[in-house]
Amino acid sequence: MGAIGKIIQAAAFAAIVAGACLLALGRDAPKRVLIATDDHAIDYPTTQGLVRIKEIIEEQTRGRITVLIRPGAQLGSEKET
């Protein structure tokens, strides 16, 4: 597994842990929206990692947390975001 694969795997694991912690907080928690940004296109490996993290978070929180992905430097350059 390459370096990018390890980063994506570690990020996915962190997302699962975060999701599990959020589930422990209770079912009546307010809905939240997180924004994840990347300066690469949606089909780039790091951005695809964000897509997988989004799926995990939304599944683990049963939709209480929504993740919006903004690829292609939509929110600014890497330094700005």
- Asked if the structure places residue 35 within a domain, the reply is yes
| pTM as predicted | 0.61
58: exposed, middle or buried (C-beta count within 10 Å: 0-12, 13-18, 19+)? middle
Number of independent structural domains in the chain? 1
- Residue 13 forms part of a structural domain: yes
CA dihedral 44, 47, 49, 51 (to 10 degrees): -120
Question: Would 43 be classed as within a structural domain?
Answer: yes
Q: Is residue 75 part of a domain?
A: no
Residue 18 has a pLDDT of 75
Domain membership of residue 76 (yes or no) is: no
- 80 assigned to some structural domain: no
| pLDDT tens, residue order, the chain (81 aa) | 677 777 877 777 777 777 777 666 666 667 899 998 999 999 999 899 999 999 999 999 988 999 999 998 888 887 887
**Domain annotation covers residue 63:** yes
Query: What range defines the domain where residue 33 resides?
Result: 3-70
